[in-house]
């Protein structure tokens, strides 16, 4: 849907090396997803559960991401 460039993949790989940042991002996303009070509606609860699964899967994919090549990448502190 939103393809990442090699430079973006390189940046994410560097950020992924900092486990405290990843943990903070997980907490931020999960807290935001669970922040609002939802009615006890089956469809709403199912949608919330799906959203949480998507967030968890996104973080799993983040841990696996690798840049396709080194073309055009810069060696500098991007964080």
Domains of the chain, by residue range, sit at 6-64
First to last CA, the chain: 25
Q: Looking at residue 39, what is its pLDDT?
A: 63
Q: Looking at residue 67, what is its pLDDT?
A: 66
> For residue 52, is pLDDT > 60?
yes
Question: What is the mean predicted confidence (pLDDT) over 29-46?
Answer: 72
* Residues 68 and 21 sit within 8 Å (Cβ to Cβ): no
* Residues 18 and 78 sit within 8 Å (Cβ to Cβ): no
């Amino acid at each position: 849907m939103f393809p990442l460039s090699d430079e973006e993949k390189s940046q994410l790989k560097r950020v992924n090396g900092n486990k405290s940042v990843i943990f903070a991002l997980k907490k931020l996303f999960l807290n935001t997803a669970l922040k609002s009070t939802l009615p006890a509606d089956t469809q709403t609860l199912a949608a919330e559960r799906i959203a949480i699964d998507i967030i968890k899967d996104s973080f799993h994919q983040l841990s696996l991401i690798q840049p396709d090549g080194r073309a055009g990448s810069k060696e500098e502190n991007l964080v």
